[in-house]
Homo-oligomer: A and B are copies of this chain.
Amino acid sequence: MTNYKLIIAYDGTRYNGFQRQSKHPEKTIQGKIENVLSQLFEEDIQIIGSGRTDAGVHSKGQVCNFHTKKHLSEESILSYMRQYLPQDIAIIKVAIASERFHSRYNVVSKRYSYTVDNGYFADPFALRFAYHVPETLNIEAMQDASKLLLGEHDFKAFTSLKSKTKSTIRNIKSINIVKNGDKIIFTYEGNGFLQHMVRILTGTLLEVGLGTRKIDSISDLLANKTRCEAGPKAPSHGLCMEKVTY
């Protein structure tokens, strides 16, 4: 058996998220990729992703792996996939991984970005990739609030109520909030993120930026763990999975 590793970039706009759904597999990134790989290898290929991304969320560095009986060169896999995948899914790299490499279990850290378009009018060139917030945002206040989120905490207040994850404890290594022209880019790096966590963190920090939430309420959220006291989840299209580290 050969264990192949893929690095994938995609514009998530047209898809119902990364994970294959039994009803409409062709509307998911995973379904599209498995379809092409199964044709190429003439066997039923199942890929393992480093994690799901929600409908509308993008990626510049999703990592997957899959096992096959057949051995094909990385070059030939790459060129076949480029030919048959839609243009909004790009295979950046194909490599042969060690036999035991598992793209979900072996994750050491993940980096996500969230882009806010803070211009007075919505930038027509960023509609698919940035959340438009025309109001004035206090960046320093958001930066101060973000420091309270660093380190190991129970992030139960910052995940979907529907989530079935056993442990809601995660470790955030860094949060950077940088202004670049009219865009404000939030970058989160941590050992893992719960369902909707980056979007709820961003929605909560934006409340601080708008002045409708006090900075020290962040500590209360981490202590009280109540989802309804945190901010709303920011829309999916501003979010991008940037990099997975092993």
In whole angstroms, how far apart are the Cα atoms of A62 and B90 in the complex?
Answer: 33
- Smallest Cβ-Cβ distance to A91: which chain B residue: B121
Within the complex, the shortest CB–CB distance from A99 to chain B, in Å, comes to 27
Q: A82-B121, A121-B92 are in contact. Are A127 and B87 (CB under 8 A)?
A: yes
A127 with B82: CB separation less than 8 A: no
- Smallest Cβ-Cβ distance to A59: which chain B residue: B124
B89 with A9: CB separation less than 8 A: no
B124 with A10: CB separation less than 8 A: yes
Query: Counting CB contacts under 8 A, is A88 at the interface?
Result: yes
In whole angstroms, how far apart are the Cα atoms of A163 and B203 in the complex?
Answer: 52
Query: Counting CB contacts under 8 A, is A155 at the interface?
Result: no
Query: Counting CB contacts under 8 A, is A189 at the interface?
Result: no
Query: Counting CB contacts under 8 A, is A123 at the interface?
Result: yes
Interface residues of A in 105-141 (CB under 8 A from B): 121-125, 127, 129
A58 with B125: CB separation less than 8 A: yes
B124 with A87: CB separation less than 8 A: yes
Q: Which of B9, B89, B124 contacts A11 (CB 8 A)?
A: B124
A129 with B125: CB separation less than 8 A: yes
B124 with A90: CB separation less than 8 A: yes
Residues of B within 8 A of A60 (CB): 125
Interface residues of A in 58-87 (CB under 8 A from B): 58, 60, 82, 87
A88 with B124: CB separation less than 8 A: yes
- Smallest Cβ-Cβ distance to A92: which chain B residue: B121
In whole angstroms, how far apart are the Cα atoms of A88 and B58 in the complex?
Answer: 20
Name A residues whose Cβ lies closer than 8 Å to a Cβ of B: 9-11, 58, 60, 82, 87-92, 121-125, 127, 129
